[in-house]
Every structure is written in C-alpha cells, then in structure tokens.
Amino acid sequence: MSYFIVNEKCNGCLACVENCPAAALDFIDQNDGRTLKHNMTRCARCGQCWRVCPQDAIEFQHLLEGEWDDVITLDLIHCRVCGEPLYSPAFLKKIEGELNSEGETLCPQHRQSEAAAKLLHSKPGKTGLQPGAK
C-alpha cells in the first residue's frame, strides 16, 4: 500500500518530484497517462513535498499516522492450563535445544503454581519419603 496519498487537486505538475530531497518520488509518462510514484524506503518524511505542492494536494497525515502492515503469521502454542498465547513452535524448539530439555507449555503464572504444587508433594509425609532418607 502507498502512504503517499494525493487528493483530487493533484494536477501532475511534479513540483513534489523535483523538490524531494530523498529522491523518493518519481513519475512515469506512458501512453496516455502520467503516474506519480513513491518509494517508502527512500522517504525521509521530511514534508518538503507537502510544503512545495502548489495545489495543496498532498495529504501528509497519511505519512504520519499509517496503518500497520502484517509482516508474518506463525503458528502459536498456548499455555496448556489457561490457553494464554505463548510462542511459536519454532521458538519453543530453539529454547528446548539451548536448554537441552523438553519445554513445558505453561505461562509464567501456571509454571509457578505447578512448581509450587510439585514442591508441596515432595515434602516429607506427602510423598512417603522419610526424614534422612536418601
């Protein structure tokens, strides 16, 4: 999508193209049409186009407050207790590799509560272990 948007007052005078310090604007005259082109990776959002446009045609607000672009969508693993989204399978695999252990799909809260429950069960009397037993 383009963030450089002009309104119906644009008459193709090319003042913006000629005055863009970042060379982010260009045009193509082809057959019966003139196409104004904008390259966001070059644009410094300096506003010179907006300043010099004699037609007040450049709607610069779209370069200040744009929409979010989706970049990538990955599968998601959730906490097996509460369903809170955690991380992607690839991230889990990397962590498992670095820790050399199988990861538990638990959110921090349920990891803590399960660890506490395990501790409780391992106390003498709860697990059958006797004091001093090795």
Partner 1 sequence: MIVGDLKPLEEIVSAVKDYKQVLVLGCGSCVTVCLSGGEKEAEQLGRQLSEVRHYQGPPPKFEVGCIIRQCEKDLVHDYQEIPPGTDALLSLACGAGVQTLADVYEPLPVIPALNTTFLGASDKPGTWTEKCKGCGDCILIHTGGICPIARCAKSLFNGPCGGSRGGYCEVGQGTPCAWTQIVARLKKMDRLRCYEEIRTSKDWTPGGASGVRRRVRTGLAEESKNR
For partner 1, the binding residues in 57-86 under the rule CB under 8 A are 60-61, 64
Contact mark string toward partner 1, 16..45, x via CB under 8 A: ---x-------------------------x
- Residue 11 interacting with partner 1 (CB under 8 A): no
Q: Is 91 in the site for partner 1 (CB under 8 A)?
A: no
DSSP the chain: --S--B-TT-----HHHHH-TT--EEEEEETTEEEEEE-TTT-----HHHHH-TT--B-THHHHSPPPPP------EE-TTT--EEE-HHHHHHHHHHHTSPPP---HHHHHHHHHHHHHHTSTTTSSPPTT--
CB of 16 to partner 1, least distance (A): 12
User: In the complex, which residues of this chain contact partner 1 (CB under 8 A)?
Assistant: 15, 19, 45, 47-48, 51-52, 54, 60-61, 64
